[in-house]
Structure 1
Amino acid sequence: MVADIHAGEPTRRDFLYVATGSLAAVGAAAAIWPLIDQMNPDASVLALASIEVDISNIPVGQETTFKWRGKPVFVRHRTEKEIAEAEAVDVSTLKDPETDDQRVIAGPSGELERQWLVVIGICTHLGCVPLSYKGEYDGYFCPCHGSVYDTSGRIRKGPAPLNLELPPYEFVSDTKIKIG
C-alpha cells in the first residue's frame, strides 16, 4: 500500500506547528538578549570614553593632569625653549624614534599646535606615573626604575622601551580639546 500525499489546503495542525515554532524562536531570542546585552559597557565607562578639556587656563610652561579611562593624561603648554629642544633632537639616537611633529596634532587653523603636548602619563616600562618637569631633559622622570623622557614625551634614558603613549585627541576649538 502506497501513501497518498496531497498538497492541499493548510490544516489546523500546520498552523499550530508554525505558531509553536514562532513562539519558540521569540522565546529563545528573549532569553538570549540579556546575555548579549550584559556585554555592553555600562554608563560609567561610556561617560569616560571621551572628555572635553578646557586648555585656556593652563599657562605657558605649566601642565595639568586629567583622568581619562582611569589613566592620567598630561596636557602640557610647552614654552618656545621646550619646543626648540624637542625639535633639535637627532631622531636616530632615540630608542623609539619619533619627531616632535609626529607627537603633536593640527589645531582648528590646520597648523600644528606645537605648544600643546598631550600624553598618557604612564611609564611604558612597568606602568608607573612619571614626574613632570624632572630628569635630565626637563620632561618626565619615572623614579621607580629611572626612565627619563624629554619635553616631547620620548624615551631618552632608562629601561622604558617606548615613548609615552599619545591618546586620541582633537581640537574642538582654540581653547578646548576632546580626548578619546
Structure 2
Amino acid sequence: MADASDSETRTAEALAAVEVDISSLTPGMSLVVKSHGKPVVVRNRTEQEMKDGQAVNLGDLKDPIARNANLTADAPATDANRTTPGKEAWMVMVQVCTHSSCIPLGQEGDFGGWLCPCHGSQYDTAGRIRKGPAPENMAVPVFKFISDTKIRIG
C-alpha cells in the first residue's frame, strides 16, 4: 500500500508536466499555456520566420547562449538550438521578458518575434534578445513531442 508521501510525489509530478494538443496550430499560430506558474508560448513558425531565425549572425546576438533546458548549458543560440531536431517550426519557450519579468507581445517589434512593451526589449522569431535592456534570451523549458500532435512541457 502506498503511503501519503508516494501520493504527494505522484501529484507533484503530474502537476509539473503539461500536455498540449497542437493539432489545430497551423503555421503562424500560437497558444499560451501555464507551466510552473509561468506563461509558455507554443508557436508553429512560418517558413519566413524560420528563415529569418536561421539567417541571424550569432555575432549579432546580445546573448550567445541558447538557454534551452533540453541542451547543455553552453549550447550556442543558433535557431536550431532553440527548437527540436526535425520539429524546427515549433518554438516552445517561457514568454517572460528576461529584464523585468514582463509578458512580451508576440509577432511584434523590429525582428517579428516578441516585444516587451514595458521597457522595449525585442526578441526575434527564435526568442533571442536582439534589442533593449533584457540580458538573456527567453528560456526554452524542458519539453518533448510525445506524438505529432502533442507536446509535454515539464
Deviation string 1:62-109 (CA, Å, 9 cap, x unpaired) is 110001111000000000000000000001110112100110113xxx
2:82 aligned partner: 103
Amino acid at match of 1:48: L
Larger radius of gyration: 1
Deviation string 1:128-152 (CA, Å, 9 cap, x unpaired) is 0100011111100001110000000
Give 1:171 shift.
0.7
1:91 to 52, 58, 69: 58
1:31 aligned partner: none
| Separation in 1, partners of 2:110, 2:137 | 16
- Aligned: 1:80 with 2:47: yes
Give 1:46 shift.
4.1
- What 5-or-longer segments of structure 1 have no aligned partner? 1-33, 107-111
| Separation in 2, partners of 1:92, 1:48 | 39
Amino acid at match of 2:83: V
1:150 aligned partner: 124
2:26 to 46, 56, 59: 59
Point out the structure with the larger strand share.
2
Amino acid at match of 1:140: W
| Separation in 2, partners of 1:175, 1:46 | 22
Q: Which runs of 4+ in 1 moved over 6 A?
A: none
| Separation in 2, partners of 1:81, 1:87 | 10
Point out the structure with the larger helix share.
1
